Each structure stands twice: as C-alpha cells, then as structure tokens.
Structure 1
Amino acid sequence: MNNRWWIYQQERFPILAHGPLVVIFCLSVLLFSALQQEDPGMPPLVQIAGAAVSTLILFFQLRVADEFKDFETDSRYRPHRAVPRGLVTLRELATLAGIGAAIQFAVAIYIDIGLVPLLVGVWIYMGLMTKEFFVPAWLRKHPSVYLLSHMLVMPLIAFYISAFDWLCVCNVMPAGLGWLLALSFFCGLVLEIGRKIKAPAKERTGVETYSGLWGAPKSVAIWIACIAAAAMTYLNALPYLTATLNYSIVAVVLPLLGLAAALPLLRHAWRQRPSADIAIEPTSGLVALTLYLCLGPLPFLLG
C-alpha cells in the first residue's frame, strides 16, 4: 500500500472511524424498508454489500468535492492539510473518485438497472454542491442556507440506499420513508454542526466554524435543537415497523440511555467549558449511531 494514501485516509477520510457508522446507516435504511415487505427479512448479502460500498464511495466523493471547493482557502489558511502540502494532488483524487463512480455504476447495473437514474441524481446534486449552486458568494453570506442546501444530500443518499431493497422487491416505496429521510437530514446536521463547534481558544483565522459564525451559545443551542428534531423524526418513524414487545422496550429505553450517557457532555457544551468541543463531536456520533441502530438492525434482531 502506498504510504501517502494511507496517511491521506487517516487525515482526511478515516475509514475505521467512518466505516462503522456508514454500515449502520445502510443497514438501518435497508432494514427499515425490508421489514415492511410482505416477506420481511434481511435483504440478500449482495444488496447490503452493494449499498454499503456505494455509500462509502459517495462519502469519499463528497470529501474529494470538498478538497476541490476548499483548495484556495486551505492553501492560504491550512497549508498543513494533505492537498496543499502536496501529499496527494487534486488530479489524483479526481481519478480515484472517477474509479469509484465506475464501481458504483457497475454495482447499480448488477443489482437493478433502476438504481442508475437514482445514482445519477445523487451525482448531479453533489456536482451542484461542488459548484456551490453557482452562487458561491451569496451562499457564503448566508451560512444557514449554505448548511441546509448541502445537507439535503443526506436524504438523497438515504433514498438511494433504500432503493437497494424496495426497487428490487416490489417497486413500492415503504411507508414512513419520508420520516427516515428526515432523520438522515437531521442526523447529518447534528454531525456537521457538532464537528464545527470549537472552544474560543481553538478558533483560527480563515477556518469557518459554526461557533465562530453564530457564537458559541447559539451554535450549541442549534446543535441541541437538531438533536431534538432527529429524536422527533425517529419517534414518528417507529410506528411503521412491526413491533415486538422486546423491540418496543428497547426502541424507547436505548435512546433514553444514550441521552443519559450524553447528558454530562451536553452540560459541558452548554456551559462552554474548555473541553466542550471535545465532548460535542463524539456525542453527535453517539446520537446518530443510537437512532440508526434502533430503526433497522435492532428491530430485525429482536423481531
């Protein structure tokens, strides 16, 4: 393995950190659909693997798009990052993203050719994101619109993943899919805002953070509001799954336990202690992981 690519993934796209959440995300979306079919059960392994590989590549392509979009800013304010310091080049990254696209295209054709237009739709939206919808200056002046417009890619990806089940089985979308897509949107906001809240001493010139844009108290309040919104969409999605007593108990108790575990971190964040930003990011991951686990994998295991 070329050492510089190993270094790049460690710095910019850590597979060991992102991989498990991506797999849980895929399983959650697939099983939410599969458990509503006439013959509910685990989708074939080839569909699960295809969805997981395609999704992981999509997130890598988003990372590559960010490298292109932020190259000038990174070169000026963050020259230590992989691309500005010459570890890898934008051309090399574009080549890898293109190879990934070929893999995704092949997977989609192999699983069901009906997946192709959905995949192309996600690619088109990602392309618009890379160009910042051709209004970059205006979006930069409206960070809230920038955030929301870019986060819409999450329900698009979730919709594409879900099609690996329902498109192959009955061509009918599962009931309650809208709530699952909304959950992916709000979990995306929780993760994105959470990773860009910094303690005042860690703010740096040229590095945009939500704590810098909105102020620390407001950014933390918005982050907590997004957690609440994610929880509400989760509760609205739950009734669409056939519930056993065991699952019903776990579906309520596990998120409450996760919230209880996160409360000390939330308290630190709300009070803006020096360690607050360290606590916020793992809490964001815990929220997303817990909600996704309870909407697919757990009902399958406990059903």
Structure 2
Amino acid sequence: MSSPLVEQKIEERNLPFYRRFWIYQKERFPLVAHTPLILAFSYCAVSISSRLRDGVWPQWPSAAVAFLTCLLFFLQLRIADEFKDNAEDARFRPYRPVPRGLVALGELGRLFVLAGLLQLAAALWWNPKLVILLLVTWGYLGAMSFEFGMRNWLKAHPIVYLWTHMLIMPLIDLYASSTDWMVAGMVFPPHGLLFFLAASFFNGVVIEIGRKIRVPSQEEEGVETYSFLWGCSKAVLVWWLMVLMTAVFGCLTAWKADMLAAIGPLLLVAACGCGIVVALFLRRQTERLAKMFEPASALWTLCLYLSLGILPGVIAHG
C-alpha cells in the first residue's frame, strides 16, 4: 500500500460518519450525476403509465414516491456490490472506500436497511398495495446480491451474468410505474407498458456496457470490462446495438402512447449521435474516445426518458 494511501486512510478514519459518507457517495454513488438520471427514469415510468392509462399528467405523490424509492434502490444496488465484490476490491482495488477503511461494510449494511425502511414507509403512505411489488423487487435484488447462488458459473458466462443482473432495471421501473396504475385501482399494468419495460432493460445494458469500455492502456487487473472480455471493437458495436434495441422499444412505447411522430425522430437522431461516437472510436481507439461512452450512455438515457416522460404530456396538454 502506498504511503499517500496510508496517510489518507488515517486521516479519513477520524472523520464523523456523515463526512465519510459524503466522500463515499462522491466516489461510488455521485448524487450530482445520478440524481438527474434517476429523476428522469422514475418520472418517465409514472408518466408513461398515466399516459397509457388515461392520458393525464401523473399525480405528484406518485412521482415523488417513485423517485425516492428508485434513488434508494440504486443506492442499495451500489451497497450490494460493495459486499459481493469486497474480496476482489481488497486484492485489486485497495484505493476504493471500503478496502481503504473510509466506510465499513457494517455501516453500509445499516444504511441499506435504513433505505429499505424509507421505501416501505413511502409505499405505506401512498398506497399499501405497493408493498407487494416492493417485496418482489427486494427479492430479486437480494437474489442478485448473492449471485443467485451461482457466482462462479455466472462469472464464467458474462452474457448470462449481464442479462440476469439487468432484469432488475425493468423491475424497478415496474415498481415506479405501479405508483400510478396500481394506485388507480388497476390489477395489471396498462396495455403497452411492456414495451417500456423492454426499453428500460436494454437501456440498462447500454449504461452497463458504456461504463466498462476501455482501451488496453486503461484496463486494470481484476476488473472485467467488456472491452477486455470481447475486445474494444466488438464491445462498442454491442453497445450501439443495445442503443438501437432501446430505440426500437422506445418507439413502440411512443406508438402505444400515440406519440410516435413526435418522439420517434428524437430517438432516431440520438441513436445516430451514438453511432457517430462508435464510428469515431472504431477509427481511432484512444483513451479520450473510450471515456466518451459513459457520458454518451447518460445523455442517451436522458433523451429516452425525458422524451417519453415529458413530451406526451406537453403535447397533449400544452
């Protein structure tokens, strides 16, 4: 362990928890970057449900409960990763917050439970029926945290690992949308929501692959990026294919909401923009261009969820 890291560890150890957590979130769960994406993600789920159901703007408590719960879901996913990757982090990434002692797993575990209590309280406050889907989502999150009891097998099959873990995305979106349709008295989601959930799944894959594309000089020992597993060219082509799949299901969602003419061209232009990033990288595979895929994934996500979540209401009621 390097001397600067030792000094940092000693200095951080004496900080109160709230300051240590503030450092932790900046490194591992940056609220400044995540909050706009999660807000767009959660609001879109509520808005598209309301649009498919009866074409009205969603109620503000639905949007608020969906946002709070989704934000905490993603925090729980990060904390779960800290537990399941602890051994690898300690061996290969001692600079991360948990291995260097900034926060302890026990503290993160208590934070995980507190997040769950807040989610439960929000569900009970808005509509107790929401607890049903909350428990389903918790159950899948818990199974993911233990790698479905097949950690070694999943590690040996990265594509299966990817899609089984990305199924949490449509589950979270289903819960967020239920703050609208379930509260409205529906037993099943509105017709057409399945297209939106499929778009959410593929968009989750876009984000996951986009944050793990690097050129060889950026690769770290013990970090299985998709560029390492598949090669740089194949990884970026798969990333763009996932963007296109997201666009297809986003357009199908817009079609069911009678907004394809307005939303389809936006998604097409954004997908073409992502294609330009891919073309530039394939032409010249540099570190600077490799770093573009994560922000490109974020911008694509914002375009998808803002167009589906806000445009229908603006056009219908503007």
TM-score, reference length from structure 2:
0.90
Bigger Cα displacement from structure 2, 11-20 vs 253-262? 253-262
Give the one of 65, 71, 90 matched to 1:56. Answer: 71
Tell me if 1:106 matches 2:133: no
* Amino acid in structure 2 at the alignment position of 1:158: D
Compared with structure 1, are the counterparts of its residues 4 and 17 closer, same or farther at alpha carbon in structure 2 (3 Å cutoff)?
same
Tell me if 1:277 matches 2:293: no
SS in 1 for 2:182: helix
Tell me if 1:232 matches 2:248: yes
Compared with structure 1, are the counterparts of its residues 232 and 256 closer, same or farther at alpha carbon in structure 2 (3 Å cutoff)?
closer
* Amino acid in structure 2 at the alignment position of 1:258: A
Bigger Cα displacement from structure 2, 144-153 vs 270-279? 270-279
Tell me how far 1:263 sits from its aligned partner: 4.2
Q: What CA distance in whole angstroms lies between the structure 2 residues aligned with 1:224 and 1:259?
A: 8
5+ residue gaps, structure 2, are 1-16
Matches within 5 A, 1:23-102: 23-38=39-54, 40-102=55-117
SS in 1 for 2:113: helix
Give the one of 258, 262, 283 matched to 2:270. Answer: 258
Q: What CA distance in whole angstroms lies between the structure 2 residues aligned with 1:290 and 1:52?
A: 18
Render the CA deviation track for 1:69-92: whole Å, top value 9, x for unaligned: 100000000000000000001100
* Amino acid in structure 1 at the alignment position of 2:77: L
Is the CA contact 1:176–1:240 (under 8 Å) kept in the aligned structure 2? yes
Is the CA contact 1:217–1:272 (under 8 Å) kept in the aligned structure 2? no
Q: What CA distance in whole angstroms lies between the structure 2 residues aligned with 1:125 and 1:253?
A: 35
5+ residue gaps, structure 1, are none
* Amino acid in structure 1 at the alignment position of 2:81: D
Tell me how far 1:31 sits from its aligned partner: 0.8
User: What is aligned with 2:302?
Assistant: 289
How many percent identity over aligned positions? 41
Compared with structure 1, are the counterparts of its residues 44 and 120 closer, same or farther at alpha carbon in structure 2 (3 Å cutoff)?
same
SS in 1 for 2:291: helix
Count of residues in correspondence between the two structures:
298
User: What is aligned with 1:139?
Assistant: 154
SS in 2 for 1:120: helix
Tell me how far 1:272 sits from its aligned partner: 4.8
SS in 1 for 2:183: helix
Q: What CA distance in whole angstroms lies between the structure 1 residues aligned with 2:52 and 2:162?
A: 33
Q: What CA distance in whole angstroms lies between the structure 2 residues aligned with 1:253 and 1:136?
A: 42
User: What is aligned with 1:184?
Assistant: 200
Q: What CA distance in whole angstroms lies between the structure 1 residues aligned with 2:141 and 2:59?
A: 28
- The alignment yields a C-alpha RMSD, in angstroms, of 1.4
Tell me if 1:2 matches 2:14: no
Q: What CA distance in whole angstroms lies between the structure 2 residues aligned with 1:77 and 1:299?
A: 47
Q: What CA distance in whole angstroms lies between the structure 2 residues aligned with 1:115 and 1:159?
A: 11
Q: What CA distance in whole angstroms lies between the structure 1 residues aligned with 2:258 and 2:248?
A: 19
SS in 1 for 2:223: coil
Tell me how far 1:259 sits from its aligned partner: 3.4
